[in-house]
Amino acid sequence: MNKKYPIKKTEADWKNELSPEEYRILREKGTEFPFTGKFNDHYEKGTYNCKACGNPLYHSESKFDSHCGWPSYDQAIEGALELIPDHSAGRIRTEIVCAQCGGHQGHVFNDGPTETGLRYCVNSASIDFEKKA
């Protein structure tokens, strides 16, 4: 990652703070296997935050079951994510990264079934959950 984000840490710091799986996904743009993430079937009320820096990304009201195997949201918190054209995997997609630390979250697609028409497809290892009090 070569863009400058408000939260600046060395890769050694990230490796020290994140589990190997979290590091692989958040810092190396990996993905987890479908239907394996702890937040895929999670529907409590609260906020989903970036696992690396705690930046709030999604409200639980925006989560829906897309049957794709990853947590899906139809709307992100305004300004929480940066959208980046992704030409890997032999197709054009839109990568989503945390606007505060640049941590890879997943991809956003325009095939969502709700009014927004969007499906933010997110790795569970990229997020944490803060239950609404």
In this structure, what CATH number is given to the domain that contains residue 40?
A: 2.170.150.20
Q: 40 in a domain, yes or no?
A: yes
Is the pLDDT at 61 greater than 70? The verdict is yes
CB 17 within 8 A of CB 27: no
Q: 3 in a domain, yes or no?
A: no
88 CB-near residues (< 8 Å, 6+ apart): none
**Cα pseudo-dihedral 6, 10, 13, 14, rounded to 10:** 70
Average pLDDT over residues 113-128: 96
Q: 35 in a domain, yes or no?
A: yes
Q: 15 in a domain, yes or no?
A: yes
The range of the structural domain enclosing residue 32 comes to: 11-131
Q: Which residues pair with 84 in a beta bridge?
A: 95
Average pLDDT over residues 76-93: 93
CB 14 within 8 A of CB 26: yes
- List the structure tokens of 49: 């935050």
Q: 39 in a domain, yes or no?
A: yes
**Could you confirm whether 98 is annotated as catalytic?**
no
Q: How many domains does the chain have?
A: 1
Average pLDDT over residues 67-72: 95
- At 88 the pLDDT is 85
- At 96 the pLDDT is 98
Is the pLDDT at 126 greater than 80? The verdict is yes
